[in-house]
Amino acid sequence: MENTIRDFIYYISVEKGLAANTLEAYNRDLHAFCTYLKKANINDFKEVTRNNIIGYLQTLKKSGKATSTLSRNMASIRSFYSYLFQERLIVENPTVDLESPKLEKKLPRVLTTQEVDLLLEQPDVQQVAGIRDKAMLEVIYATGIRVSELMSLDVLDVNLEAGFIRCTGKGAKERIIPMGSVAVHYVSEYLNRSRPKLIRSHDEEAMFVNQHGKRLTRQGFWKILKKYVRKAGIVKGITPHTLRHSFATHLLENGADLRSVQEMLGHADISTTQIYTQVTRSKLRDIYKKTHPRA
């Protein structure tokens, strides 16, 4: 069964161009499912029934796994069995008409514009690393790109003259996103004053590099962000994705249309973007309750 999983992971990596993190999640989910099947004395995916899959999900639920984890596992198993059926490795697909666990839609946590300003003021732009950090924070808030996309940026992906960046998102889809004047200014400062002192080789293509002159990682960015959140005294639980959420929410609050925000965020389905309209509506309700005399 492990060989079949390996073939499937190779197939989706080539055919769908999924990100490494997504491939790892598929691989992890399917191997966990495989372990469960072996304990039930099932040693061939052809023997798996609908009830086996339901039983596995129930086991995950009893162990305290979140609904989002159950839903992701179901998606992994469904995709895997679609592949097996397509390749004629099974006669019937046991995942047909099998519903995914209903996810609770939680509103994303966002920063106020004042909190964003406070956070973005923290890097010391008199320092080499501070200029880099300032440029990164400005870019991620100005464009709403994912941290993985920020870390994947090459110098040639940024056009300061035209004021845009080119990034490759999920499914290897490329998009062009405008970048505001403030972000353009600090990226220019970084390229002129900071990056030349950080890189060890002129052949380095990465836009944002660490102290060793190599491409900065997601973990590296996360440490940097946490440092500035503490320094700013912001007590909200903030992740790198919070700036992306804040970007989308602030655009919609100021009149941007949903389709444009969807395109900039790189969402395949507009329903994913619509969650931000709920955030703005929730904020309006709070304002109404606090300010209307008959609220």
Active-site residues: which are they? 146, 170, 241, 244, 267, 276
What are the start-end ranges of the E strands in the chain? 158-159, 164-168, 174-178
Which 3-state string (H, E, C) describes 228-253? Answer: HHHHHCCCCCCCHHHHHHHHHHHHHH
Counted residue by residue, the chain has a size of 295
CA separation for the pair 43, 50 (Å, rounded): 16
* Whether the Cβ atoms of residue 263 and residue 175 lie closer than 8 Å to each other: yes
State the CB neighbour count (10 A cutoff) for residue 288: 10
User: DSSP for 67-115?
Assistant: HHHHHHHHHHHHHHHHHHHHTTS-SS-TTTTPPPPPPP-PPPP---HHH
Record the tokens describing residue 148, joined without a space: 């993985």
The CA distance from 238 to 147, in Å, is 13
